[in-house]
Structure 1
């Protein structure tokens, strides 16, 4: 529940259905996105028996705005404000069963604030940006495609829309059937790289909607059908979502969210016997 209006609506629906609604109250401790102010929380909790019939308030939570910046003083301010509000609702006789504050970054950067529960998101994919040491987390996904065509292009030729890249040597270029419609961000044009045969090769020219050109001149033997790794490991080389996102000037969250529906997902049911730090 993020507002008094939400709380009253849930109460009316619960009464009409004759069922109890199990809810958590969201506190706005400084994110200024969703949530109740301190005054609204205390007012709602104090009047809960009169105005929230059918609502079982089970939890209290908030969200840190700078959890991935462990040295930001704003984290301490939010944590202090949240605990003050928690003390306030307890003084009113409400003891929430679940109190939670931390997202993925917060779990590692503020372990002392793990309280009753935590909310891992990006950590489940092992693709976290910044922050402190994240222990034994490993990236759990690979994004791969294949070489579609290969051409030998002479020195001086331009590549891609806008002719933004000019070859400084005779080059061997490969086209992969993946572009910004598939989540390979256009901002990686002339900046990003991918893995082919265990080597990093650069993206050249502007990324198109459903195709991208890569320079495989320094990667002998590449052929049509060869695997190209966008995110993941190939041989001794790795390309993490964090690194690729940094090349695009963004965060891994955005990069992973943009992976389009044209990309088939293959889920592998595998057990991990041992995880090395």
Structure 2
């Protein structure tokens, strides 16, 4: 565990976001907290414990490893849904612990049924339909065989959910494409019902789809980026505030990333700072070295123009971001000291380094930036 920085997660900010989403989507609709990618960089173990305390009892993950992490914290108190990868070796544990999972190929369904019979426990499956993402999901031409298996093996398979994932819901440019996907998904839903197979839950909405296409909310919404206080895209945010005729963002960012000043150094005019010759001091300068670099998720693309808060002032990154260190210009801060607090993401006094501004400096998506933050940085829940 590293001690050179810390991630703080605000419980009150998260509760604000969940209350907003429940009100927006309807209290009867299930909110599934998507915690893939180490809970979007927030830390699965710490995050799911906080989320459960805020009223969340359904979690969606990408693979069996993430499912195990959630289960280790919350065991059978919550529903866990695997949306992506699992190996056949994972299935006995998954089925035994009532972990639900997407099925998008025949082999997985057949294996699940066989193992379920062997351990005398039903497998809980969600059948994924291909509607236009062209990634995972059954084509309509494959469904006849899948229907046969689901009916024949009803003693070992629980057909819990019917699902899909829309391609491009975060952009209005994809409006007709997504509308077509929604219509097709409902056709498949009705096709299964006509074949005497009715899922308990029908779900298709991620954060973007749930905002842009309310019809996608169905029984359950898989909420990813919005629960963390961020919007899937600027388009989605603008569409929402315009529709509600409001100006203030109803979401609150829950993450703060802090470090400390490791050392201070005076640099003479004309000297270069760091590797190579990417930054030359044009005047006598004072720099602070922060023990954070690209190994921790602080992008190398922030070299020479990233910003860090010290004493409530924005300080520019000077020189190249290295594996474990970054230098910042503190020439105009007379009283800066070693071990003083540094904010890489978050607020300090009246200023903020937002995820959005961080992404603008580094040319990263907010999803990418967050998931690249090192898993070994400790996470702490704050009020």
Deviations 1:72-108 (CA, angstroms, capped at 9, x unpaired): 2322222222222222212222221111111122222
Determine the C-alpha separation between the residues in 2 that align with 1:184 and 1:225: 19
Q: For 2:165, what is the secondary structure of its paired residue?
A: coil
User: 1:65 corresponds to which residue?
Assistant: 167
Instruction: Name which of 5, 14, 17 aligns with 2:119.
Output: 17
Indicate the RMSD between aligned Cα atoms, in angstroms.
Answer: 1.8
Alpha-carbon spacing, 1:132–1:181, altered in 2? closer, same or farther (3 Å) = same
Alpha-carbon spacing, 1:237–1:18, altered in 2? closer, same or farther (3 Å) = same
Moved more, 32-41 or 195-204: 32-41
1:132 corresponds to 2:246 = no
Determine the C-alpha separation between the residues in 2 that align with 1:71 and 1:165: 41
Instruction: Name which of 99, 106, 117 aligns with 2:220.
Output: 117
Q: Report the structure number with the largest CA radius of gyration.
A: 1
Q: What are structure 2's unaligned runs of at least 5 residues?
A: 1-102, 241-248
Instruction: Name which of 67, 92, 98 aligns with 2:195.
Output: 92
CA deviation after TM superposition for structure 1 residue 242, in Å: 2.8
User: 1:241 corresponds to which residue?
Assistant: 355
Determine the C-alpha separation between the residues in 1 that align with 2:370 and 2:310: 21
Q: For 2:215, what is the secondary structure of its paired residue?
A: helix
Does the 8 Å CA contact 2:225/2:232 hold for their aligned counterparts?
no
CA deviation after TM superposition for structure 1 residue 241, in Å: 1.9
Moved more, 185-194 or 217-226: 217-226
Aligned residues: 269
User: 1:274 corresponds to which residue?
Assistant: none
Determine the C-alpha separation between the residues in 2 that align with 1:49 and 1:129: 38
Moved more, 185-194 or 43-52: 43-52
1:83 corresponds to 2:197 = no
Does the 8 Å CA contact 2:226/2:232 hold for their aligned counterparts?
no
Greater helix proportion = 2
Alpha-carbon spacing, 1:65–1:191, altered in 2? closer, same or farther (3 Å) = farther
Q: Within 5 Å, which residues of 2 pair with 1:1-277? A: 1-50=103-152, 53-73=155-175, 74-130=177-233, 131-133=235-237, 136-268=250-382, 270=383
CA deviation after TM superposition for structure 1 residue 118, in Å: 0.6
Q: What are structure 1's unaligned runs of at least 5 residues?
A: 271-277
Structure with more relative contact order (C-alpha pairs < 8 Å, separation 6 or more): 2
* TM-score, length basis structure 2: 0.66
Moved more, 157-166 or 40-49: 40-49
Determine the C-alpha separation between the residues in 2 that align with 1:123 and 1:166: 41
CA deviation after TM superposition for structure 1 residue 7, in Å: 0.6
User: 2:15 corresponds to which residue?
Assistant: none
Determine the C-alpha separation between the residues in 1 that align with 2:221 and 2:232: 18
Alpha-carbon spacing, 1:154–1:200, altered in 2? closer, same or farther (3 Å) = same
Alpha-carbon spacing, 1:43–1:242, altered in 2? closer, same or farther (3 Å) = farther
